[in-house]
Amino acid sequence: MTDEDTESKVVTAHNEEATATIAEDKRDRDGIRQKLDTCINHFDSAAHPSSIVNVVSVQIGSTEVNVHNAVTIGTKQMKVFESRLPQGLYETITKMLLLWIMQGSM
């Protein structure tokens, strides 16, 4: 074994400094910026609609949407289900939670 085999090469630049990496990072940033431009500005609450809204598609939900009460509704449904056991094990559980009803868009 010679001294040349054991010597390590000195690295003077990081991979992040390469031209291709810099260009790829710029494409990523531009793609994220373009996607965020299509969304509602989370920090501008004055521009938010009063009802529930999908911040990405900007679709407004109807006033019938009750997802904000999901835990309360689920707890009530669980108590009803448990009260019917064991006879009601195979009964249908009604859908009481309305996740999204399309009303329109902004």
The residue range of the domain holding 24 is 3-105
Per-residue confidence (pLDDT) for residue 105, from 0 to 100? 44
> Given a cut of 70, is residue 94 above it in pLDDT?
yes
Per-residue confidence (pLDDT) for residue 67, from 0 to 100? 77
Q: Are 97 and 67 in contact (CB under 8 A)?
A: yes
Per-residue confidence (pLDDT) for residue 53, from 0 to 100? 77
Per-residue confidence (pLDDT) for residue 43, from 0 to 100? 81
- Determine phi and psi for 61, rounding to 5 degrees: -85, 155
Containing H/E element for 25?
Answer: helix 19-37
What's the total number of domains in the chain? 1
CA atoms within 13 A on the CB side of 46: 0
pLDDT in tens, 9-63: 777 777 778 888 899 999 999 999 998 888 777 788 787 777 777 777 777 777 7
pLDDT in tens, 53-91: 777 777 777 777 777 788 888 899 889 889 989 988 888
Instruction: Report residue 65 as tokens.
Output: 């949407």
Predicted structure pTM score:
0.40
